[in-house]
Structure 1
Amino acid sequence: MDNEVGHEIADALGILLRRTTRTQLHQQLTEGMGEAVDELTYPVLSALARTGPRSAADLAPDVGVDRSGVTRRASRLEAAGIVRREPDPADRRAHLLVLTEEGQRAVAELRSRLAAHIMASLSSWPAGEAEAFARRLRRFTVDGPFG
């Protein structure tokens, strides 16, 4: 395997990781989900769904904004009943952000929409190719440069 393949993968990752690409996708996925669930709050919901309860400071690197940015987004989600704040048992001064039942339903809907969006984009692929891609992508994320 030569560097050509590495360059091709790097170019594709560059497109996937662009903030504008993510924002456009998040806008599509959150359409009609209510005022609090939008392209700004989607990363907070997604991170909480992946990791479980966390403080705003701990979420900040995953979300890509500073602690105060996470706090502002979480406040919108809290006002809508999608997240709640609980005292952090490890630090009495801090609070953890936790998905409520409503938040878990919102995340389930967002994941369903994302899966459907992905599958629609793969609908023209030959039989078995999407499954092979999924396995290889998983392997790349586990064994590749991100692990």
Structure 2
Amino acid sequence: MHSAAARVEAALGLLLRRSTRAHLYDDLVSDLAGVDETTYPVLSGIARLEPVSSTRLADEIGIDRTATTRYAARLEKVGLVVREPDAGDARSTLLLLTAEGRAAIDSARRRLVDRLDEIVAEWTPVEAELFATVLEHLVSKLRPES
């Protein structure tokens, strides 16, 4: 029998696998024009960090800066993202969501919450609350600032 920590490690390994994330992102953006599994992490990262430089965004989402810049340009081309000059660094620009970009990320996040609601609907309310609490605690301990 594996320890609880070993089971968590195995589950996290599966959750963090690129194929798992890509499948999830595909579900989240299936009806969003201009967003796909490659651009979703960029859109989501901008939503969480805006205004944000491509360099900081790349560091935060774990995609190299060149790819991040390319994906942001694709999102800009379809009107979901804009670039603005960085007042603190004349050589840099900052990425921000447009109203359409905000609507797209809100839609994707609602879809994710709906999917998670479907999953936890099979659990008791106590199990669902406990899982949320334990997951929040685990994430807080794994984050770099903890």
Aligned residue type for 2:72: A
Instruction: Give the deviation of 1:4 after TM superposition.
Output: 1.1
Distance in 2 (alpha carbons) for counterparts of 1:108 and 1:6: 34
Whichever residue aligns with residue 5 of structure 1, its letter is A
Distance in 2, Cα, partners of 1:48 & 1:145: 22
Q: Any gaps of 5 or more consecutive residues in structure 2?
A: none
Tell me which amino acid in the other structure corresponds to 2:142: P
Counterpart-to-counterpart distance in 1, 2:127 and 2:60? 30
- Check the 8 A contact 2:75/2:81 in 1, yes or no: yes
How many corresponding residue pairs?
A: 143
How far is 1:63 from its partner? 2.6
CA shift digits 1:72-116 (9 cap, x unpaired): 111111111100000011110110110111111111111100100
Match of 2:23 in 1: 24
TM-score for both structures, normalised by structure 1: 0.91
CA distance in structure 1 between the aligned counterparts of 2:27 and 2:11, rounded to whole angstroms: 21
Deviations 1:39-84 (A, max 9, x none): 1110011111111211111111223221110111111111111000
Please tell me whether residue 101 in structure 1 is matched to residue 99 in structure 2. yes
Between the aligned partners of 2:87 and 2:81, the Cα distance in structure 1 is: 18
Answer with 11-20 or 124-133: which moved more: 124-133
**Which segments of 5 or more consecutive residues in structure 1 lack a partner in the other structure?**
none
Query: Structure 2 matches for 1:16-95, cutoff 5 A?
Result: 16-34=15-33, 36-95=34-93
* Cα distance in 2 between the residues matched to 1:26 and 1:82: 17
Amino acid at match of 2:9: A
- How big is the alpha-carbon RMSD for the aligned residues of Structure 1 and Structure 2? 1.3
TM-score, length-normalised on structure 2? 0.92
Percent of matched pairs sharing the same residue:
42
Contact 2:47 2:96 in 1 (8 A): no
Runs of 4+ in 1 over 3 A off after TM superposition: none
Structure 2 distance, partners of 1:82, 1:145, is 31
1:133 and 2:134 equivalent? no
- What secondary structure does 2:38 align onto? coil
The residue that corresponds to 2:3 in the other structure is 4
Three-state SS of the structure 2 residue aligned to 1:33 is coil
Q: CA deviation at 1:141?
A: 1.0
